[in-house]
């Protein structure tokens, strides 16, 4: 368990964040908190404060908008993340990317491991690296373990786009940004992706920009 002083410190920082109301400020690349990872959640927040923090993460994720948000992205070094994906994309895109709607959920102390050797590569962005996207090859299927916000165990296999979200958000809790795993020759502004690389898969981008796909 964390020392009392550390527990109080994290709780106080969360209280200060929430005091302002509304969406929380999102920390961007270059801030050390994004590279330190998160401490295991061991009750540093009271149940009521945890519930308020989770709700603030949800509001912030929706406002951004994004499909996931990790606590370090708002400056809180705890292994907590939220995910939700209404998957508002054309059917062809959804089929190729395995993108299916995901209800709102909370991941506490999550970890993942690959299931099989298959990998999938698609453009990916991050709220902490605004304005840019790059192609990232990730495990096509992973086993997710952890807990929800009520302490109930999570142990399930996820695939497709939900697996990508789980990997992206859990990586944040390990101090890893998507750019660490990206094919940097694919790095593109959001405008370039919309204008040139809106296809369901990145084969055209790989050929034009000179990078390989798995």
Ranges of residues in the chain whose predicted pLDDT is under 70? 1-8
pLDDT at 8: 59
**Which member of 169, 191, 203, 207 is catalytic?**
169
- C-alpha–C-alpha distance, residues 132 and 127, integer Å: 9
Known catalytic residue: 169?
yes
> Is 139 within any annotated ligand binding site?
no
Do the beta carbons of residue 156 and residue 102 sit within 8 Å? no
Domains (range + CATH), the chain: 4-120+139-176 (3.90.45.10)
pTM, 2 dp: 0.94
> Is 4 within any annotated ligand binding site?
no
- C-alpha–C-alpha distance, residues 175 and 82, integer Å: 16
State pLDDT tens for residues 65-123: 999 999 999 999 999 999 999 999 999 999 999 999 999 999 999 999 999 999 999 99
pLDDT at 45: 97
User: Residue 114 contacts by C-beta under 8 Å, 6 or more apart in sequence?
Assistant: 139, 141, 142, 143
pLDDT at 54: 98
User: Residue 194 contacts by C-beta under 8 Å, 6 or more apart in sequence?
Assistant: none
pLDDT at 56: 98
- At residue 94, the 3 state secondary structure works out as helix
**185, 153, 151, 182: which is closest to 167 by C-alpha?**
182
């Amino acid at each position: 368990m964390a020392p009392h002083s550390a527990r109080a410190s994290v709780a106080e920082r969360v209280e200060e964040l929430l005091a302002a109301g509304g969406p929380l400020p999102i920390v961007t690349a270059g801030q050390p908190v994004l590279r330190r990872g998160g401490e295991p959640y061991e009750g540093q927040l009271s149940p009521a404060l945890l519930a308020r923090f989770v709700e603030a993460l949800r509001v912030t994720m929706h406002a951004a908008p994004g499909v996931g948000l990790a606590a370090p992205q708002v400056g809180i070094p705890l292994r907590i993340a939220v995910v939700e994906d209404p998957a508002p994309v054309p059917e062809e895109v959804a089929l190729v990317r395995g993108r299916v709607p995901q209800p709102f959920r909370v991941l506490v102390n999550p970890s993942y491991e690959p299931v099989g050797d298959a990998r999938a590569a698609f453009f990916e962005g991050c709220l902490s690296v605004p304005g840019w996207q790059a192609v990232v090859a990730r495990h096509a299927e992973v086993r997710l373990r952890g807990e929800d916000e009520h302490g109930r165990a999570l142990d399930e296999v996820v695939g497709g786009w939900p697996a990508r979200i789980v990997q992206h958000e859990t990586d944040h809790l390990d101090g890893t940004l998507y750019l660490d795993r990206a094919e940097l020759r694919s790095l593109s502004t959001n405008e370039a992706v919309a204008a040139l690389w809106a296809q369901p898969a990145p084969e055209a981008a790989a050929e034009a920009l000179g990078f390989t796909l798995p």
